[in-house]
Structure 1
């Protein structure tokens, strides 16, 4: 059985939560940054409360106030913060300090952490990713149009040995996920638009994606 973790990003409806509850990826993502998949704090809390135990909710942010991000973690609406903007080590250190650890049982499904996203255009981006003082790196495709989620892959051959466990994102779907896992051996794969039909999460695509990875 594959040990690669699975993250499905961009949940925004109770139907989406129902789908992931059926197939149980390790992580799901709620997008708080400006996006067609953007959710409010209130909607995210509603979705999180419907989420099956053991699935870790992640919030996706772009250059948003650190206190606001920390509040979402401390309210247990999300457990991990995924930073897609220009957040630097100073921002990450402040966020880490603001995230309260009290009353949190130290188990895998109660982990709290910081994921720094790096958009990959050249080798220097991979080298830069290794320097961030975060818990995980997320490698995504560079785009001048958006901070992430453009549904395109990047040249995986640029990925050198990472110092931290990393999520591989950018155009991941059921047709290429096993190739991605074999080639770069990520800690986790992260899919969003590749699991959608007409802009909304597709239950059968989610089913095939998760099952393909789990039985590989």
Structure 2
């Protein structure tokens, strides 16, 4: 089954929507963004989140100590790195927390061999820093050995094709499940329903 991640939650009703839809993961964006939340808001939302859904914190070149603190406080369960974090940074972060790490990489920038040089637990492949735009799927390296998420421009229009063609571990959504910049219950429920029905 393809794992689902709904990113950029910031309101209590967003949590209610995902608790109904039950994706495997949700994302709190701590990096500067229109969807940014602070630790106080994220904690309030996490307390409301169904315990079977993992909360991922999204960061861009954040201090490792701050990320580890959010993990220690139980505000996030996993870490997603979207900046220039290198192996030294990841190694340092691992000395502070056991939380799994997702490293975002831009499609077409790395071969499978180069990807495997990154010691993350998961990769997230998209068109660039959360642009919400689809990219040429042929840029995804073949034979990726680490579980990976596909992101960027995924919607009800193309999600079934994406899963059948690329067989990602997971798929990541944000803007495509929004109306006027806010998460929409019906869009979330519909995309989750479609993914659950895809035969890989």
TM-score, normalised with respect to structure 1: 0.88
Q: Residue in 1 aligned with 2:146?
A: 164
> 1:94 and 2:100 equivalent?
no
Q: Residue in 2 aligned with 1:49?
A: 47
> 1:74 and 2:72 equivalent?
yes
Alignment partner of 2:166 out of 171, 177, 184: 184
User: 2:25–2:54: 8 Å Cα contact kept in structure 1?
Assistant: yes
1:213/1:96 Cα in 2 relative to 1: closer, same or farther (>3 Å)?
same
User: 2:82–2:105: 8 Å Cα contact kept in structure 1?
Assistant: yes
* Deviation at residue 127 of structure 1 after TM alignment: 4.6
Residue correspondence of structure 1 range 2-17 to structure 2 within 5 A: 3-17=1-15
Q: Deviations over 1:93-135 (max 9, x none)?
A: 1111101x5xxxxxxxxxx300000012x25365532320010
1:127/1:140 Cα in 2 relative to 1: closer, same or farther (>3 Å)?
farther
Unaligned runs of 5+ in 1: 102-111, 143-147
Q: Residue in 2 aligned with 1:198?
A: 180
User: 1:19–1:206: 8 Å Cα contact kept in structure 2?
Assistant: yes
Q: Residue in 1 aligned with 2:133?
A: 152
User: 1:126–1:158: 8 Å Cα contact kept in structure 2?
Assistant: no
Tell me, what secondary structure is at the counterpart of 1:124? Answer: coil
Unaligned runs of 5+ in 2: none
Query: Residues of 2 paired with 1:138 and 1:169: CA distance?
Result: 7
Q: Residue in 2 aligned with 1:105?
A: none
Equivalenced residues, count: 197
